[in-house]
Amino acid sequence: MKPAVLTGEHFLTGDVACAEGALAAGCRFFGGYPITPATEIAEHLSERLPDVDGIYIQMEDEIAALASVIGASWGGVKSMTATSGPGFSLMVENIGLGIITETPCVIVNVQRVGPSTGLPTQGAQGDMMQARWGSHGDYEIIALAPASPQEIFYQTIMAFNLSETYRTPVLIMTDEIIGHMSEKVIIPDAKTIKTLSRPKPKGKKNRFRLYEPGRNGVAPMAAAGEGYNIHVTGLTHDEKGYPVMTVEAQENMQKNLSEKIQKNLDDIIHTESYLLDDAEVVVISYGVSSRTSFSAVDEARKLGIKAGFLRLITVWPFCENKIKSLAKRMKGLVTVEINQGQIHREVERCAKGMTKTVLVGHAGGTIIPPERVIGALKGLL
C-alpha cells in the first residue's frame, strides 16, 4: 500500500499535484464526474484513494457529485470534487446547500473557455464572478487561485484547512494551463504538513446545538452516527438545525454565516507583494496570469517604470483594504486576467476614482503576453 504522502521531488501536472495535495490534507472521499480539463484529478484519485482506505465514486452528473461530497462530509470524512465550467454551473445549487448547512468540502474548478462548451481544451479565468455569486442569495465564499503545480499542491491543503476551520465549501479556481502544465513539485514529509480538522462538539450530547457559534463564530460539527441530534436542511433553520420560517430566524442565520468569514479576514485573505515599496504603478493579477505579470513588472523596471505587483492568492473574500490603500498612493492600477474584466471590476470598485484603473484581458484560449502589460503600464504615466 502506498503512503498518503509521496514524499520527494516529482515532475507532475497541476491536476495530479492537486490530487496529491488532497491526499496529503487527509481527503478520503472524492465524488466526481469526468470533464475536460479536470478529469485527470478524478483519474488520479481513483487510483490513489484505495491506497489510503479512501473512496472514489463517479456519479451520474455534477449535481450528484457535489451532493455525494456533502453527504460524505456529514459522515465525518474530508471530501472533495473537481470539475470545469459547465460542471461548475451544475454544482452551484449544491454549493448554496453546502454554505447554508455549513458543510466543509473542497471544490476544484479547472477553468476553460466559455460560455457553454466553448473551447474545452483551452485555459481561461472566466468563472471568477460565478465563483463569488453563482448560487442564489447572500453568502460568503472562500476561493483560492494557484499559479503553479507546486502551489496547487499547497493550496489544496490550505483549502481543506480553511474549509474545516470555517465549516464551509472552499473553491480552488485553477485553469487548464496550470492543470495541464508539468513542473517540478516537491512534496514534503508528512510530519511537516499542517492539517486541520473541523471543530468537534464537547459536553452533554442532549444539549448539543448543531449551529451554535463557537468563539471564532464557527459551530462545532458532529458527524452522523456519533450519537448527537443532527438535523441538516437547506431551509432557514435555528441553532438546533430545525426549520424556522421567520424573518428573524433568517436574519440570525445569515448573520452567523457572514460573520464567521468577515470576522476572520486576516486569517483567510492571502496576497503576495513584489516591489511595492517605491512603486508608482501596480499590476494586480492571480493564477496563471500572474506568471507573465511578474516578468512584465521586471521588464518595466528595466525601462525605468517604477512598477510593482500584487498577486491575489485568495481571490474571495476580496482584499478590499489592500486595493484601497494602493489606490490612494499609486498613479494607476493594471488588472491582468484571462477574461473581460471580472476581477477588474472589483479593483475599480475599491479604487473609487482615487486612481486610474486599466484592464489587460481577453476572451480566453491563451496566456496574456508581458508586452501587453508593459504597454498598459506605459499608458498610465
Give percent of the chain with pLDDT exceeding 90. Answer: 96
Which of 135, 163, 192 lies at the terminal end of a domain, its last residue? 192
Is 70 inside a domain boundary?
Answer: yes
Which of 192, 221, 242 lies at the terminal end of a domain, its last residue? 192
What is the number of domains present in the chain? 2
pTM over 0.95, yes/no = yes
Instruction: Read off the pLDDT of each residue in 237-250 and give the average, rounded to a whole number.
Output: 97
**Does 16 share its domain with 151?**
yes
Is 87 inside a domain boundary?
Answer: yes
Instruction: Read off the pLDDT of each residue in 226-234 and give the average, rounded to a whole number.
Output: 94
Instruction: Read off the pLDDT of each residue in 3-9 and give the average, rounded to a whole number.
Output: 92
Is 227 inside a domain boundary?
Answer: no
**Does 307 share its domain with 161?**
no
Q: Which residues lie across from 361 on neighbouring strands?
A: 337
Which of 192, 218, 244 lies at the terminal end of a domain, its last residue? 192
**Does 293 share its domain with 176?**
no
Burial class (CB in 10 A: 0-12, 13-18, 19+), 205: exposed
Contact, 221 vs 200, CB < 8 A?
Answer: yes
Q: How far is CA 354 from the centre of its chain?
A: 29
Is 197 inside a domain boundary?
Answer: no
pLDDT tens digits for 46-83?
999 999 999 999 999 999 999 999 999 999 999 999 99
Cell of 203: 459536553
Other Cβ atoms less than 10 A from the Cβ of 231: the count is 12
Query: With 80 as the cut, is the pLDDT of residue 1 above it?
Result: no
**Does 172 share its domain with 35?**
yes
Cell of 120: 474545452
**Does 178 share its domain with 282?**
no
pLDDT tens digits for 94-119?
999 999 999 999 999 999 999 999 99
pLDDT tens digits for 301-313?
999 999 999 999 9
How many Å apart are CA 29 and CA 73, to the nearest integer?
A: 8
DSSP secondary structure letter of residue 201: P
Q: Which residues lie across from 13 on neighbouring strands?
A: 182
Instruction: Read off the pLDDT of each residue in 31-39 and give the average, rounded to a whole number.
Output: 98
Query: With 80 as the cut, is the pLDDT of residue 121 above it?
Result: yes
pLDDT tens digits for 193-205?
999 999 999 888 9
Q: What CATH number does residue 342 fall under?
A: 3.40.50.920
Query: With 80 as the cut, is the pLDDT of residue 328 above it?
Result: yes
**Does 288 share its domain with 154?**
no
**CA-wise closest residue to 125 among 287, 271, 272:** 287
Cell of 284: 494586480
Query: With 90 as the cut, is the pLDDT of residue 327 above it?
Result: yes
Q: 12: pLDDT confidence band, cut at 50, 70 and 90? A: very high
**Does 63 share its domain with 166?**
yes
**Does 180 share its domain with 284?**
no
**CA-wise closest residue to 81 among 93, 101, 64:** 64
Mean pLDDT computed over every residue of the chain: 97
Query: Which residues, including other chains, have CB under 8 Å from residue 135's CB and lie 6 or more apart?
Result: 92, 93, 95, 96, 99
- Predicted local distance difference test score (pLDDT) of residue 51: 93
Query: Which residue range forms the structural domain that includes residue 359?
Result: 271-379
**Does 124 share its domain with 16?**
yes
How many Å apart are CA 330 and CA 300, to the nearest integer?
A: 16
Instruction: Read off the pLDDT of each residue in 278-292 and give the average, rounded to a whole number.
Output: 97
Preceding amide of 37 cis, omega within 30? yes
Preceding amide of 115 cis, omega within 30? yes
What ranges make up the beta strands (E) of 176-270?
A: 182-187
- Predicted local distance difference test score (pLDDT) of residue 350: 98
